[in-house]
Amino acid sequence: MKRSRHFSLALLLAGIMLGTLMGCKPKQVKDVIDGDAAGKVYVPPGKYDELYMFTSGGFSGQVGVYGLPSGRLLKVIPVFSQNPENGWGYSEETKPMLNTSGGFIPWDDAHHTEMSQTNGEIDGRWLFINGNNTPRIARINLVDFKTEEIIEIPNCAGNHASPFITPNSEYVVSATRFSIPIQSNPDVPINSYDSNFRGTISFVKVDKVTGRMNIAFQLLAPGVDYDLSHAGKGASDGWMFFSCYNTEKASTLLEVNASQRDKDFILALNWKKLEEYFKAGKAKEVQADYAHNVFNETTHTATSTIEHSVKMMNLKDMADAAYFIPCPKSPHGVDVDPTGEYIVASGKLSAVIPVFSFKKIQDAIRNKEFEGNYDSIPVIRYEAALAGEVQKPGLGPLHTEFDDKGNAYSTMFISSEIVKWKVATQQVLDRIKVFYSPGHLMVPGGDSRKPYGKYVVALNKITKDRYLPTGPELTQSAQLIDISGDKMKLLLDFPTIGEPHYAQAVPADLIRKNQRRFYKLTENKNAYVTLPPDVKVVRKDKTIHVYMTAIRSHLTPDNIEGVKVGDEVIFHVTNVEQDWDAPHGFAVMGNDNAELLIMPGETASLIWKPRKPGVYPFYCTDFCSALHQEMQGYIRVSSAGSNTPLSWGLGSDTHVAKNKE
């Protein structure tokens, strides 16, 4: 009996997928390309784009920075993955950023960009992003587009409902996608899911001035899958909403077994109340190891500290702080409109999009309009919380963003379209095809209290025939759509790095005016910072430190002798330029890590272990001047037993090491 139900559900899913493949799409879907599309996306040479867009790099672990409306890629910011282009995660200064309680982990799966907010508006200071696989949250400083901090989230598996921010950047919040056995002995049978598996929700405090993160408290929560989240704002400020699936608590064949119940949940948390409980001392300290990595902008060096405990509260003991709201069919996105009154939940297999009213949720709580409990948490009656449903939006609703005119835009993964509807009436106004299968979508400022509007960007999972083919592995893509009029109009397709789950965009001025152009040498506190008179080479046992400078167009020293096989050479290169756009690179023949790309005023270090005697060239890897090709030198390596003295020089200025070997 049970088996046949599984089978028929699988058939239904297969039918939907087949329908998509065979191109059966809902009627009235139009492919509208704006007649003046070229004019609307053309940014003449030498002119700037109107907006910065930040995309998550998905399985690349990085962040992409694009200009809109041109779609030009401006930068890849390395976050959770090593990046040979600039030595991120390879240089000695940056390696600690990728440290975790489980050691050095040079890759992750990044999903949600989240910019800091003041008063519910994007303030352009920091960009947060989650590492999904090895649970981590990173913070990028938008003054220099550099990852400045990464904190690991313990007691978490699949840091997916993360990092969603509260309206004054009080917290970035993270919830587990996968429930797991938490605490004491986690070695339990998988089929004991129901009794042993739990979720956690972490409130990570953000310092108002420095942006520094620390885990304030964690909540032990029912053992379901927490998928996505958004903070309340305006009317609903102080609350946080999470989509939950697998309320069936299945641990195998979730495709079928987690799709049994007609409704799963939205979890509504009163975080201000939870904060009060926490301040009143309701949390227990539990043992948990996690790394907290910080990049210091004056030492240009990261440190990694392992922390050993977190404060935990059990959600079911937190009276009046948590409520479930039934939500059809495995909800994915949960999005809050700019006023904070409407909470939109997208059930992946649902035929409607439910829109909940914050006011009605509050009334229902006051009047105890509950249909029962789930794991000791009251479940509000669906109708009591509902403002209305968007009827026939399309197939496979995933995510919703908002414009500045009271409209919402939702992605339909299966029917490959964006649907525009009116938030207050839930009436569908327009729809446009996208190519193909959008996940998230993004309106600039579209998850904040003050959307900028003008465009929506579809972040598509499948590109198939949209670009020149590149073998089996194809690019991901974004599509820019004009939403300034009543009808949505397609303007531009452009490829993206990795898989762009979520993205955010803001008017360029908000960020451009704060840009750092170089690091001041006078403020460089790196342990190996070197100014021209202090250039030297120092042996400490089998480690040789080269205190090197780089300036157009020479590296000092450029001749080094006295290195022996078995030594480890560390080149500490200070770029002594004090000018915008004057980086130098550094590589030495056979170095088995990556190059260094050193910004003006910065110091970076690279380890090199020569394997056999010889003379090895090193050079600047960034074409920095007319005499860039001359920016080169040699290092001589002698056999292990040789007595070649350690010496270095530039031109006629040569030195021999005074220190004893």
In whole angstroms, the minimum distance from the beta carbon of 174 to ligand K7E comes to 13
Residues 220-249 that bind ligand CUA (CB under 6 A): none
Partner that binds at residue 420, options ligand K7E, ligand CUA, none, CB closer than 5 to 8 Å by kind = none
Q: How far is the CB of 622 from ligand CUA (least distance, A)?
A: 5
- Which of these, 200, 215, 212, 348, lies nearest to 269 by C-alpha position? 200
Based on the shown chain and the rule CB under 6 A, indicate whether residue 158 belongs to the binding site for ligand K7E: no
Residue 348, interface with ligand K7E (CB under 6 A)?
A: no
Answer yes or no whether residue 160 interacts with ligand K7E by CB under 6 A: yes
259 phi and psi angles, rounded to 5 deg: -120, 20
Query: Which residue, 255 or 630, has its beta carbon nearer to ligand CUA?
Result: 630
Burial category of 179 from C-beta neighbours within 10 Å (exposed 0-12, middle 13-18, buried 19 and up): buried
What is the total count of residues that contact ligand K7E (CB under 6 A)? 11
Q: Which residue is nearest to ligand K7E (CB)?
A: 439
Least distance to ligand K7E, CB of residue 116, Å: 19
* Residue pair 364/277 in contact by the 8 Å Cβ criterion: no
Shortest spacing between CB 459 and ligand K7E, in angstroms: 7
Q: Does 584 bind ligand CUA (CB under 6 A)?
A: yes
Q: Binding string to ligand K7E for residues 93 to 112, with x set by CB under 6 A, is what?
A: ------------------xx
- 253 alpha-carbon distance from chain centroid: 28
| The CA-based dihedral angle spanning residues 229, 451, 136, 169, taken in that order and rounded to the nearest 10 degrees | -90
- With residue 255 as reference, give the H or E element that holds it: helix 254-257
Joined tokens for residue 54: 């930040």
Of 523-562, binders to ligand CUA (CB under 6 A) are 550
Backbone angles phi, psi at 629, to 5 degrees: -65, -20
The Cα-based distances of 345 to 44, 385, 386, 405, 417 in angstroms read 40, 12, 11, 20, 17
Site residue total, ligand CUA (CB under 6 A): 8
Q: Considering the complex, state which of residue 238 and residue 328 has its C-beta at the smaller distance from ligand K7E.
A: 328
Q: What is the smallest separation between the CB atom of 474 and ligand K7E, expressed in angstroms?
A: 17
In Å, how far are 86, 88, 160, 596, 623 from 583, measured between CA atoms?
10, 15, 36, 10, 9
- Quick note: the x/- pattern for ligand K7E over 407-436, rule CB under 6 A, is ------------------------------
Residues paired with residue 341 on neighbouring β-strands, in sequence order: none
CB nearer ligand K7E, residue 409 or residue 619: 409
Cα-based distances in Å from 155 to 96, 137, 468: 21, 14, 44
List the x/- string, 616-655, binding to ligand CUA by CB under 6 A.
----x-xxx---x--x------------------------
Comparison of 263 and 584: residue with beta carbon closer to ligand CUA: 584
**Tokens 């095809």 label which residue?**
433
- Count the Cβ atoms, other than its own, within 10 Å of residue 580: 10
384: closest CA among 355, 359, 360, 405? 360
Q: Considering CB distances under 5 to 8 angstroms, the limit depending on partner class, which of ligand CUA, ligand K7E, none binds residue 483? A: none
Tell me: does residue 258 bind ligand K7E (CB under 6 A): no
Tokens of 444: 């600039």
CB of 333 to ligand K7E, least distance (A): 6
* Identity of the residue, 283 or 597, whose beta carbon is nearer to ligand CUA in the bound complex: 597
Rounded to 10 degrees, what is the CA torsion of 568, 603, 497, 347?
100
The nearer residue to ligand K7E, 139 or 501, going by C-beta atoms, is 501
Among ligand K7E, ligand CUA, none, the one that 111 touches (CB under a kind-dependent 5 to 8 A) is ligand K7E
Query: x/- string (CB under 6 A) for ligand K7E, residues 208-237?
Result: --------------------x---------
Pattern 175-214, binding to ligand K7E, x per CB under 6 A?
Answer: ----------------------------------------
- Cis before 245? omega within 30: no
Nearer to ligand K7E by Cβ, of 141 and 416: the residue is: 416
Query: Peptide bond before 69: cis, by omega within 30 degrees of 0?
Result: yes
Alpha-helical runs (H) found in 348-451: 358-366, 382-385
> In terms of CB distance, is 96 or 500 closer to ligand K7E?
500
For ligand CUA, the closer of residues 260 and 632 by Cβ is: 632
Residues 436-495 that bind ligand K7E (CB under 6 A): 439-440
Q: Report the nearest approach of ligand K7E to the CB of residue 446 (Å).
A: 14
Among 332, 420, 433, 539, binds ligand K7E (CB under 6 A): 332
Q: Do 309 and 285 meet the contact criterion of CB atoms below 8 Å apart? A: yes
3-state helix, strand and coil shares in percent for the chain, rounded to the nearest 5:
15, 45, 40
Strand order from edge to edge, sheet including 331-336: 331-336, 342-347, 352-357, 386-391
What's the chain's Rg over C-alpha atoms? 27
Contacts to ligand CUA by CB under 6 A: 550, 584, 620, 622-624, 628, 631
Residues that bind ligand K7E (CB under 6 A): 111-112, 160, 228, 332, 398-399, 439-440, 501-502
